[in-house]
Amino acid sequence: MSNIPLAERLRPRSLDDVVGQKHLVGEGGVLRRFVEQGNIPSFILWGPPGVGKTTLARVIAAQLERPFFTLSAVTAGVKEVREVIDRASKQAFFNSPSPILFIDEIHRFNKSQQDSLLGAVEQGVVTLVGATTENPSFEVITPLLSRCQVYTLKSLDDVELGELLQRAITQDEELKARNPQVKQTEALFRFSGGDARKLLNIIDIVARATDGDIVIDDQTITDCLQQNLALYDKNGEQHYDVISAFIKSVRGSDPNAAIYYLARMLAGGEDPLFIARRLAILASEDIGLANPNAMLLANACFDTVHRIGMPEARIPLAETTIYLATSPKSNSAYTAINEALRFVEHDTTNRPVPLEIRNGVTKLMREQGYGRDYKYAHDFGGFAEMEFMPEGLHGHRFYTPNTSNPTEERIAERIKNLWKEKY
């Protein structure tokens, strides 16, 4: 068989070849409209692995006949970014469309690396196309995010996986020569998990593991994957079912299950920094104020993993995982900010900030009452009762302490002592 993977042999050459993502590339889809109009803005493709982010970027560049530069955020630094931008700027001609700069896994760029892109994107030196499996709102800096549209890609459903399977066995010459027979698809689709690349990789594994005719049924798929587990698990793909189980085990205070899923991810080639980021999120979302030290340890873990790498990184990851799993749990901060954001997004009154707590930086402001009657808490022993909420929100509560843990029980008692019945 060819050394070229099936996923590469079947990589789409046009938008019409793309399976799935009809909301973006189907008739009337926003990316199709951009291509038809001959122009595209900078944008970020957000979605799970194997749904076509890299493929879409390449297809769009090819159909628009734009120069295409690519970087991987795993290996590129500021120096490499500037070198590519310099090469792109030298290819630009008067009134010619800007080259496309594709950055895979853009969420792995740190702030300085992302900052180095800003000028080129803003000036139109390049059209940026980023790909990420992480929520761009959390991983991409605001100035860069504001200059890009974000488009969400979806996992393929069984119908779309079936379409891809048929394309593989009817269009790929190597598979056609092996007389492929599809008898059952349940195991194939289940192991694929909506990931196009994973489906094609599984078919590749079956083809390489058998002689003669290729038979695709549940037993063959299961047997081949068990025999080729290392190959299957080390494709560099992120396994959302395992990370979900890991998160839920930590949240559920089961350190043994959490360590098991951590080992699964590390053995499967998972990026240790991805795990460390998830632990930092867990520390604030699920442990929160019940144990504020959890955030400190999670941040220290992330820094340590970043510095030392594998295999030693497994130790701080294990330490932090066990610490978070065995910590008391509270999502009160998570609930409070979500409640406040929901309120603010639907509150159209643009409530004015009370004059007492405005900053009277000019004489005119002070004459209008800015900062007048403000009570500096430290002049009153650390607390001075006054109104901080805008008119109409007096006494409104967003944060409710979770008194099932000792730390927040003390917080609740302090709030009650200070504010009496107000909150």
How many secondary structure helices (H) and strands (E) does the chain include?
22, 7
pLDDT at 232: 38
Task: Please say if the pLDDT value at position 235 is more than 60.
Answer: no
Query: Could you tell me where the beta strands, DSSP code E, fall in 105-254?
Result: 127-132, 149-152, 181-182, 215-216
What are the structure tokens assigned to 291, written together?
């144990």
What is the mean pLDDT of the segment spanning 250-271?
Answer: 88
Mean pLDDT of 318-333: 95
Would you say residue 99 has pLDDT above 90? no
Q: What is the mean pLDDT of residues 204-217?
A: 87
Residue 409 confidence class, pLDDT cut points 50, 70, 90: very high
Per-residue pLDDT, 107: 83
Please tell me which residue, 265 or 303, carries the higher pLDDT value. 303
Residue 151: the pLDDT is 92
Taking residue 365's Cβ as centre, other Cβ atoms within 10 Å add up to: 15
Question: Is the pLDDT assigned to residue 271 strictly greater than 90?
Answer: no
- The predicted structure's pLDDT at residue 133: 84
- Kindly write down the DSSP assignment for every residue of 388-412, as one continuous string: -SPTT-TT-------TTSHHHHHHH
Q: What pLDDT, on a 0 to 100 scale, did the predictor assign at position 227? A: 58
pLDDT (0 to 100) of residue 315: 95
- Give 290-311 pLDDT, tens digit per residue: 999 999 999 999 999 988 888 8
- pLDDT over 70 (residue 240): no
User: What distances in angstroms separate CA 84 from CA 62, 88, 296, 405, 421, one per listed residue?
Assistant: 19, 6, 37, 52, 61
Give percent above pLDDT 70 in the chain: 94
The yes-or-no verdict on residue 269 having pLDDT over 80 is no
Distance CA 155, CA 238 (A): 13
User: What would the two tokens of residue 166 be?
Assistant: 């048929």
How sure is the predictor about 270, in pLDDT bands with cuts at 50, 70 and 90? Answer: confident
Over residues 217-229, mean pLDDT? 76
End-to-end CA distance of the chain: 71
Q: Taking residues 269-276, what's their average pLDDT?
A: 84
Residue 92 has pLDDT above 80, yes or no: no
Residue 230 confidence (pLDDT) above 50: no
Inter-axis angle of helices 240-251 and 314-326, nearest 10: 50
Phi and psi dihedrals of 127, rounded to 5? -100, 115
- In this predicted structure, what is the pLDDT of residue 257? 92
Q: What is the pLDDT of residues 392-407, one digit of tens each?
A: 889 898 999 998 889 9
Strands (E), 260-340: none
- Cα torsion through 360, 364, 367, 372, rounded to 10: 0
Q: What is the mean pLDDT of residues 363-389?
A: 89
The model's confidence at residue 276, banded by pLDDT at 50, 70 and 90, is very high
pLDDT of residue 90 exceeding 50, the answer is yes
- Across 210-227, average pLDDT: 83
Query: Is the predicted pLDDT of residue 238 greater than 50, yes or no?
Result: no
Which residues, other chains included, contact 78 with Cβ-Cβ below 8 Å and sequence gap of 6+? 112, 113, 116
C-alpha Rg value of the chain to the nearest Å: 27
Among 31-35, 91-95, 257-261, 412-416, the range scoring the smallest mean pLDDT is 91-95
**Which residues, 6+ apart, have CB-to-CB distance to 347 below 8 Å?**
none
Please, which residues have CB within 8 angstroms of residue 345's CB and are 6 or more apart in sequence?
none
